[in-house]
Amino acid sequence: MPVPILTVAQMREWERHAWAAGAREADVISTVGRLAANRVRELTGDGDLVLLLAGKGHNGDDVRAMTPHLAGRKAELVNVLAPAQDLAAVRAALARRPAWVVDGLFGIGLNRPLADEWRAVVAAVNDAKLPVLAVDVPSGLDADTGSTHGAAIAATITVSVGAPKTGLLLPDASPWVGRLEVLPEVGLGDCPVATEGQWTLAGDFGDFPPRRPAGGHKGTFGHLTIFAGSSGYHGAAVLAARAAQRAQPGLITLMTSPEVYVPVAAQLQAVMVSAAEAAVEPPSGTTALLWGPGLAAPPARARFGLLLEQAWKAAPVPVIVDASALDWLPPGELPARAIRVITPHPGEAARLLQTTSAAVQQDRLAAVHKLSRRFGDCWVVLKGRHTVVGRSEGTFFVNSSGNPYLAQGGSGDALAGYLGGLLAQPALQADPVKALRFAVWEHGAAADRLQERQPGWTVEDLVAALGSRLRP
């Protein structure tokens, strides 16, 4: 199950509920210490020096509890209790250039500006330019608002305890949070707080996609039709088609602009490619439709725009719209139970809402709600750091995978194609939101796998890596 996204007050409520139910605070601290130490061990090698900075409160207790679990590493613990006196020890330890610094100076309870003495400690850590793992929250960052209390540790990775806190997901927090990870099973039991926001984890997909029937055939697994590619943008059509193949639908047809048919068709083998004129209809048996990748050249709308409008309003199969085709969407109601998906990045979302990218980023969930309402309560995949999947109301899901190296041209085309390849499969259409969440998660996870083993990877590499999470 995904874990909830909580405010500080909700996290405190969960803790009170856990203590009342018999959980012991000391046991939770011990568990957090062990799990955080395990993460540090994954990041370091035998003999590496790890600097642990522990403050007065329970956040410091969590870091102190890591010490017994760092066998094989040279763990140096500096208790920072009186910052003016302890600053010299912090600087001396940083000068030894540890492989990683663990930040446990302040936790989520900080709600006041940092004193100058504490700012000096924070500055010393940041000036050292060393990798930092922050436990629960980067010290100095407000876990509700995502703003700093005058200064904050710039973490490389933040491991949030129990659940991600709302402020850690806000765009202004990203320079301090770095990569956000969660330690969900720390001994607090089930969260009693009902929240609409859910944090997607790899474990959410232990049974997904479902195993294929042994007697299945091409017809069993659907037929995706893609409308993509125009003059100057033929590569997007190829990327989308190849990514769709990684989801393994039964058949894929690519309808592309006549002027780019040759370069597109020359790069695809199993995908059926057609040069599409204005009045073209999807092939019989199509089980999902994708519009958008590489349709930026002006003639594309004249060719495919009316057909998209008709399909969006009435097609009995899922319709996914991406990139330039988002501008062709008709607002208004949709048929009941229609599966409709749009996949904008913040700039495209801003264009559809007649606002700015900055405004979209300031409240990404509000943008999802507005887009969904505008286009008939469709599903919205708002791309970016921590991609959001949601509708006009109800539960929304925030993705946990991915990294900044996804910011390459063609990455969105790959996501759209992979998503279309999944939603074309009839067995996956019964739970479209799970298919959407999985597509987004696997897209990010593939980028994470590549970054770990192959720095300098390209979007072509990303497409090749998609789907390796699929069950046999």
Single pTM value for the model:
0.94
First CA to last CA distance, the chain? 22
Does the fold of domain 218-465 match that of domain 3-194?
A: no
pLDDT at 472: 42
pLDDT of residue 367: 97
The string of pLDDT tens digits covering residues 410-424 is 999 999 999 999 999
Summarised one tens digit per residue, pLDDT across range 280-297 is 889 999 999 999 999 999
Residue 278 has pLDDT above 80, yes or no: no
| Mean pLDDT value of segment 166-183 | 95
| Residue 191 confidence (pLDDT) above 60 | yes
The whole-angstrom separation of Cα 392 and Cα 145 is 23
Share of the chain above pLDDT 70, in %: 98
Q: Residues 224-238: what's their mean pLDDT?
A: 97
Nearest partner of 147 among 106, 124, 175, judged by Cα:
175
**Residue 230 scores a pLDDT above 80:** yes
CATH number of 218-465: 3.40.1190.20
Q: How many Å apart are CA 208 and CA 9, to the nearest integer?
A: 34
The rounded distance, in Å, linking the Cα atoms of 202 and 455 is: 22
Nearest CA among 304, 294, 289 for reference residue 223:
289
pLDDT of residue 91: 98
Whole-number average pLDDT of the chain: 95
What is the C-alpha separation between 90 and 85, in angstroms, rounded?
A: 10
Domain residue ranges in the chain: 3-194, 218-465
Q: Is the pLDDT of residue 207 over 90?
A: no
Query: Average of pLDDT values for 106-127?
Result: 94
pLDDT exceeds cutoff 50 at 315 = yes
- pLDDT digits 0-9 by tens, 48-92: 999 999 999 999 999 999 999 999 999 999 999 999 999 999 999
pLDDT of 469 reads 65
CATH 3.30.70.20 fits 3-194, yes or no: no
Per residue in 15-47, pLDDT tens? 999 999 999 999 999 999 999 999 999 999 999
